[in-house]
Amino acid sequence: MASPPRDLSMSFFVLPLLALLINPATSIRTSIIKLPGSDGSRSSAADTYCESWRLAVETNNAGTWDVIPSLCVDSVAGYLKGDEYGSDYSVIVDYALAFAKTVKISGDGKDVWIFDIDETLLTNIGYYRAHGYGVSRSEPFDSKSFNEWVVQGTAPAFAASLRMYNALKKLGFTIVLLTGRDEDQRNVTETNLRDVGYSGWERLILRGQDDQGKSATNYKSEQRSKLIDQGFKIHGNTGDQWSDLLGFAVADRSFKVPNPMYYIP
């Protein structure tokens, strides 16, 4: 093949060089990879990673975790403040109700659906808004201040969970509330639940003296086992923690609602 004319070859080199000299910022800026936070902004790579981290948490692939990665604190806050959080919750409720409608209710009062309370029926976003939107290295969990929030009894309901709760009652399910809250918080918990629209549960199970020190997984498994021993059939279970759902004496179907703020084993 014949070589191109020398003046044409030079033009291939000179023209890009002229473009660079005329506007050097264009080529230089697009060739630099910005690290998250290096110029006060977040990179798309950081946002993508944090979305993937939330997926790993919600699917339990992350396993035990202690704090939100520092890279993802702002991402989690944005998720909780935006529309996606409520939308994710609502979609899960739709799937749960679709399953519930397939259950044959015996009519003997033994067909049970279990609900956790915190971040399942009630949202403590008011508390976490003032504490970094979750457990992080800069905002470790403080049980004392959280319990002070609980006794105020002002936690709102999730709109989607209230919809699900009432629909399950209409379908004929017996509702059991199984929470990690302590027995001495029974009155304020019942009042809070009723104030935001929940009613008609069969049992509210809280941690007693014998349950102190147990992992949430063991405590809740033991309580479900007691229900089964009493003849109840646990068709469904809804919670924001995998420890609400796993262990032994599990439900026929369990539905994990989103919570990227903290992990309870």
Q: Is the pLDDT of residue 151 over 90?
A: yes
> Do residues 89 and 186 both lie within one domain?
yes
| Residue-wise pLDDT tens digits, 1-27 | 444 444 444 444 444 444 434 444 443
pLDDT for res 6: 46
> Do residues 59 and 169 both lie within one domain?
no
Flag whether the pTM goes above 0.85: no
pLDDT for res 24: 44
Q: Which sign, positive or negative, has the C-alpha torsion 187, 115, 74, 36? A: positive
- The pLDDT of 176-194, averaged and rounded, is 98
> Do residues 181 and 115 both lie within one domain?
yes
Question: Does residue 158 fall inside a structural domain?
Answer: yes
> Do residues 177 and 217 both lie within one domain?
yes
> Do residues 123 and 181 both lie within one domain?
yes
| Residue-wise pLDDT tens digits, 32-66 | 333 344 444 556 899 999 999 999 999 999 999 99
Question: Does residue 5 fall inside a structural domain?
Answer: no
What CATH number does residue 236 fall under? 3.40.50.1000
CA–CA distance from 86 to each of 158, 198, 228, 229 (Å)? 8, 19, 33, 36
Write down which residue in 45, 78, 111 finishes a domain. 78
pLDDT for res 42: 55
Question: Does residue 264 fall inside a structural domain?
Answer: no
* Percent of the chain's residues with pLDDT above 70: 84
- The pLDDT of 84-107, averaged and rounded, is 97
- The pLDDT of 182-190, averaged and rounded, is 98
Question: Does residue 234 fall inside a structural domain?
Answer: yes
Both structure tokens of 157: 């309901």
pLDDT for res 17: 41
Question: Does residue 155 fall inside a structural domain?
Answer: yes
> Do residues 169 and 63 both lie within one domain?
no
- Total structural domains within the chain: 2
- The pLDDT of 80-99, averaged and rounded, is 97
Question: Does residue 1 fall inside a structural domain?
Answer: no
> Do residues 135 and 249 both lie within one domain?
yes
Closest Cα to residue 123, out of 148, 92, 160, 95?
160
Write down which residue in 78, 103, 129 finishes a domain. 78
> Do residues 93 and 36 both lie within one domain?
no
> Do residues 74 and 197 both lie within one domain?
no
> Do residues 89 and 213 both lie within one domain?
yes
Q: Residue 15: which domain range?
A: 11-78
> Do residues 60 and 128 both lie within one domain?
no
> Do residues 252 and 158 both lie within one domain?
yes
Write down which residue in 24, 53, 78 finishes a domain. 78
Q: What kind and span of H or E run contains 182?
A: strand 174-182
Question: Does residue 2 fall inside a structural domain?
Answer: no
